[in-house]
Amino acid sequence: MPLAHHHFAPLLAACLTVLPAAALAASPDPQPAAVARIAPAGSTEERALRAIQDEAVQRVQALMERMEGMPDGPARDDLERQIGAIKDDSEIEFLEAVVRFAQERDDEQTVFEAERQIRSARRATSSGEVCDDEFDPNNLCTFPTTIVPDNYPGLQIPFGEEDWYKIRVQRNGTLNIALTFTNASGDIDIRLYDACGGNLIGQSLSQTNTEQITYKNVQTTRHLYLRVGMITGTCNSYTMNIVITSTTNANATFTPPGWTAPVVPRNVGNATVNSCPLSATLAGNGNTWMNTATNLTGDNCPAYQGQVTLDDSLLHATAMNDNSAPMLWSTLNSGPYTIRGGRHTVRHTADVFNEMFESNENDNVYSNQWVWSPLATAYSAPHVRDFPPLKGVGTYRNADGASYTRNAGVAWVIAAAPFTPGDDYDLRVYSDYTGSTSGFTTLLGSSAASSNNTDLVIGHYSGTPSTVYPAVDRFLAGSGNDYALDQSDARQRNGNLNTTSGFSWTPVTLEPNRIADVYEAYMNAGTTYYFTLRILSGTTPMQFRILPPTSGGVFHVGSGVGSNTFGNPLTLTYPALNTGWHPVVVYRRSGTNAGTELTYDFEWSTTTLVDVPDSKPASELMLAGAIPNPIRDRGRIHYVLPAAGEVVLAVFDVNGRLVRDLATGSRPAGAHSVEWDGSRSDGARAAAGIYWARLRFGEQVLTRRIALVR
């Protein structure tokens, strides 16, 4: 397969752009594919190229500093000439280094392009000859121009000189060389050698306007040397066309008899050349053995490299030896590999680096998606996972897949959050998985929050599957770090606000790597409800959202109505639009610090929220009362002290009799809260009715009314 040309000189030229009366512009540092290939990031070669650039930049910058404020005149002109010379010399030095590194890697295309640019740069800095072209000087076989199959117009040769070219020809490749020119302007002949100073293996010496050589290389892949010479005339122009063909073909799309496909993943490592069926199920997060086939036809092939990738990662590399005979070649039972659950693409590429010309260049690649059994997850048991695969380009996404079976009859939530800002992973939830060829296709809902913000998919208790299949894919990997996958449902976290005026969950703990809890609140259309979330400990910002009571509803992180996102507590006054069970989700807003524990209180009420003061010290004593109010089973009484001191907080009945002491002793300044479970001092349940919370602090006494219902 021919390779595209690459350009290196602009890389250095950009570094040496001179802006009059200004500092030297910083390099934008592009990385052409060929430069990245011969000088990978962090390599000795890359550092050497950088050093050439850096030295040139420093020298130019020093001259520009001398020019600063210098008036026009001979002295300034001389400095400008020096800057131009530095640019020219450094550009050639850079390209010569590229040639050396490319030769070490046998990268003929890069050698060819870099040498062409060297010649162009040298012509630009010299007066030039009348009969030069872009490849001059190349009049010796020891300094030939390396070329690849292409068409080269506008070449020139003077009488008595030679142009030498070096061409890499694969085993059993047929080289076709054609020169066209005007013979009346000078007779041009061509000769082909097997080495510099080697044997003549082909020639064309006619006196027409065309010279042509066809040569089949039956030996190992090697370089052949072409000599172009003019024996009459003064200077002549010619066009040279180079083509390499081959009957050899490496077909990676051929399915052998007894195989399911050209690539077959299996649960067991016992495939044979004649029997390689796809396993009905593939063990996600377990062992997979991989099998690949390549049908080689035509002539014996040159050496080439192949590879098998899983999604966007290399699974294993393969190599075909030089002079391999045409037949069915297979790699059996490679592995075992641990492949995560979910849908993944396996891709087999023969001749991955385009090392040989083939009779068919369009059958080197076979790819297909298969489905591995999902990771089974449990209620409120998070999993920390490596960064997921890229989604791919097919109809269905590659993803890290799992399964979760909820408690019947309650709402559910799936949450995913990358730990590192800049890592952007997306969550999709499906309803299906059946085996290696089917699953993760029927989408229930998706969430695509930016950066490492939390993705959520929430399902209503009614009309959604009891088992769902979450899948996480990678939109952008800033750092490519881990993420947390969490799943839960609303078991023991539901309350009917039609029959009870308030509910309180306190304290609730989100363990490390837990991302979200889901609740259910029964609300009536036309009634206003009040929700308060107080963060008691932890550093991850939180939020909560109320979702519609829609049977079959599946919602994402932006659905419904959300609380405020800053401050503590987080509150929401919610006028219900519909009657029914509303999913309510409480979650960490991002994966930052998700590996730490977090605790919170969550209060619902049908009456106006008592203002719960902030945690900072107040200028005066404050008693906020109970949340919720009225209290059914338990509630919290919040207060704020303006300074440290002794406090007594107790509950009294309407006759002034002590019901229960709640807090006694020294407390620091700031916000505090204490729970009352509706019991008396003797442990008996207090009767339903009206009570008073009384706070004594020094000489100050505050009271608040509390309603207790049974």
Q: Pick from 359, 355, 348: which is nearest to 304 by CA?
A: 355
As a whole number of Å, the end-to-end CA separation of the chain is 82
Whether residue 310 is contained in a domain is answered as yes
Residues 365 and 254 in one domain: yes
Residue 394 has pLDDT above 60, yes or no: yes
Domain annotation covers residue 380: no
Q: Which residues on adjacent β-strands are paired with residue 625? A: 638
Residue 554 has pLDDT above 90, yes or no: yes
Q: Answer yes or no: do 617 and 710 share one domain.
A: yes
Quick check: 451 and 479 in contact, CB under 8 A? no
- In this prediction, residue 619 has a pLDDT band, given cuts at 50, 70 and 90, of low
Task: Give the pLDDT confidence score for residue 33 in this predicted structure.
Answer: 63
pLDDT for residue 587 is more than 80? yes
- Record the tokens describing residue 139, joined without a space: 């009049």
| Structure-token match 């000078």, residue found | 186
The whole-number pLDDT of residue 502 equals: 81
Residue 506, pLDDT score: 81
Mark whether 261 and 348 lie in a shared domain.
yes
pLDDT digits (tens, 9 = 90+) for 221-255: 999 999 999 988 889 999 999 999 999 999 999 99
Q: Does residue 351 sit within a domain?
A: yes
Count, residues in the chain: 710
Find the helix packing angle between 44-67 and 74-104, rounded to 10°.
Answer: 180
How many Å apart are CA 513 and CA 483, to the nearest integer?
Answer: 9
Number of domains in the chain: 4
| Whole-number Å distance between alpha carbons of 519 and 601 | 13
Please determine, for residue 13, whether its predicted confidence score (pLDDT) is greater than 70.
no
Distance between CA atoms of residues 702 and 695, nearest Å: 5
Residue type, 178: A
Measured between alpha carbons, how far is 296 from 322 in angstroms, rounded to an integer?
Answer: 13
Q: Name the token pair of 572.
A: 């929401």
**Average pLDDT along the chain:** 87
Is the CB of residue 632 less than 8 Å from the CB of residue 500? yes
Q: How does pLDDT run across 470-497, given as a tens digit for each residue?
A: 999 998 877 789 999 999 999 989 999 9
The answer to whether residues 262 and 234 belong to one domain is no
d(CA 215, CA 116): 25
Domain final position from 211, 245, 279: 245
Distant-in-sequence, close-in-space partners of 64: CB < 8 Å, separation ≥ 6: 18, 23, 24, 83
322 and 218 share one domain? no
In percent, the amount of the chain with pLDDT more than 70 equals: 91
> Residue 676: enclosing H or E segment and its boundaries?
strand 670-676
Residues 35 and 86 in one domain: yes
Least confident of 17-31, 313-327, 566-580, 601-615: 17-31
Tell me the mean pLDDT in the region 179-199: 94
pLDDT at 11 over 70: no
Statement: the pTM of the whole predicted model exceeds 0.85: no
Same domain, 239 and 262: no
Find the mean pLDDT for residues 532-538: 89
- Per-residue pLDDT at 206: 94
Q: How confident is the model at residue 566 (pLDDT cuts 50, 70, 90)?
A: confident
Q: Does one domain contain both 103 and 189?
A: no
CA distance 544 to 586: 4
Task: Enumerate residues 6+ apart whose C-beta is below 8 A from 75.
Answer: none
Average pLDDT over residues 86-98: 84
Whether 401 is in a domain gets the answer: no
Q: What is the mean pLDDT of residues 298-323?
A: 92
CA distance 292 to 164: 43
Please check whether residue 507 lies inside any domain of the structure.
no
CA 226 from centre of chain: 47
β-strand 145-147 against 162-169: which pairing, if any? Answer: parallel
Task: Return the CATH number at 297.
Answer: 2.60.40.10
Q: Which amino acid is at 468?
A: V
Q: What torsion, rounded to 10 degrees, do the Cα atoms 650, 652, 658, 659 define?
A: -90
> Lowest-pLDDT range, 128-137, 254-263, 449-458, 673-682?
128-137
Kindly state whether residues 255 and 355 are assigned to the same domain.
yes
pLDDT at 24 exceeding the cut of 50:
no
Domain boundary among 206, 221, 245: 245
C-beta neighbour count of 498 within 10 angstroms: 13
| pLDDT value of residue 538 | 87
Give residue 22's domain range: 9-124
Q: Kindly report the CA angle at 15 between 11 and 16, in degrees rounded to 5?
A: 120
CA–CA separation, 687 and 651 (whole Å): 13
Q: Identify whether residues 28 and 93 lie together within a single domain.
A: yes
Look at 28 and 48; give whichever has higher pLDDT.
48
In terms of domains, do 97 and 159 share one?
no
Residue 300: pLDDT band by 50, 70, 90 thresholds?
very high
Predicted pLDDT of residue 393: 86
Residue at a domain's end among 197, 220, 245: 245
CATH of the domain at 196: 2.60.120.380
Question: Using 50, 70 and 90 to split pLDDT, how confident is the model at 93?
Answer: confident
Torsion angle (degrees, nearest 10) of CA 48, 49, 50, 56:
110
User: Which contiguous run of DSSP H or E holds residue 123?
Assistant: helix 108-124
Alpha carbons 334 and 341: distance in angstroms, whole number: 19
Q: Which residues contact 124 (CB under 8 A, 6 or more apart)?
A: 88
Q: Is residue 354 part of a domain?
A: yes
What is the predicted pLDDT for the residue at 109?
A: 74
Residue 665: CATH number of its domain = 2.60.40.1930
**Tens-place pLDDT, residues 207-220:** 999 999 999 999 99
Examine residue 474 and state whether it is found in any structural domain, yes or no: no
CA distances from 615 to 516, 531, 601, 612, 624 (A): 24, 18, 14, 9, 12
> What band does 125 get if pLDDT is binned at 50, 70 and 90?
low
Nearest residue to 647 (alpha-carbon basis) of 668, 619, 627, 678: 668
Closest CA to 487 of 388, 390, 411: 411
DSSP alpha helix (H) spans, 241-375: none
Residue range 116-120: average pLDDT? 73
Residues 631 and 694 grouped into a single domain: yes
Q: Is the pLDDT of residue 614 over 50?
A: no
Report yes or no on 27 lying in a domain. yes
pLDDT score of 648: 94
Q: What's the pLDDT score for residue 626?
A: 78
96: three-class secondary structure by DSSP: helix
Integer Cα distance of 642 and 636 in angstroms: 20
